[in-house]
Structures are given as C-alpha cells and as structure tokens.
Amino acid sequence: MCLAIPGQIKTFDKAKRYAMVAVAGVQRQVNVDLLRGESLSIGDWILIHVGFAMSKISAEQADEQMKLLEMLGEADEALDEVKGYSFGEDP
C-alpha cells in the first residue's frame, strides 16, 4: 500500500477539493485537498494514494511510475483500486 498510482486531472469540482482523474483509461474522482498549496490545473499529473492526491508530478514521472507498477506486478491491483473508489461522483 506504499506505492502510489499516477493519474491525470480531467476536471475539478466547484470548490476544487475533488478532481476527476484518468488512470489508464479509467476515470474516478479523487480528493486533492492535500495539494492545496500547489497550483493544480487540468492536464496535470498527480500521484494518488487511497483516494487522495499526494504529490504533483511530471508526465515523465507518471509514465515511469506506471511502468514501475507493471514491473512490480501491481498495475492490475492499482487499477482495481481506482475502479473501486466509490466515494465520488460518476464521470
């Protein structure tokens, strides 16, 4: 549960506390409150951990992180996790 999942921001909610994020074709809402100190925009990449964005990263780092998850055999698990987030609104 230490490894984080890379996702790209597609939209924000009104208060900018939640973002619709795409992870390998799957879209789910995640909480972005922990990055309130950062300037977040649509198209930015983030690392997601248990439904929360934990860091803003570059597109290269996102690609690298997804490949790492694949190599560690955790890519399916990561996708299941994102698909399993049930707290947000549907895309």
Residues in contact with another protein by the rule CB under 8 A: 1-4, 31, 33-37, 47, 49-52, 54-55, 57-58, 60-61, 63-64, 67-68, 71-74, 80-82, 84-88
| Residues 6 or more apart whose Cβ sits within 8 Å of residue 16 | 32, 40
Is the separation of the CB atoms in 22 and 79 below 8 Å?
no
Q: Does residue 8 contact residue 28 with C-beta atoms inside 8 Å?
A: no
Question: C-beta of 41: minimal distance to another protein in Å?
Answer: 17
Compute the distance between CA of residue 69 and CA of residue 77 in angstroms, rounded to an integer. 9
Nearer to another protein, 39 or 60 (CB): 60
What is the closest distance, in whole angstroms, from the C-beta atom of residue 9 to another protein in the complex? 17
CB of residue 10 to another protein, shortest distance in Å: 18
CB closer to another protein, 10 vs 55: 55
CA distance 20 to 40: 13
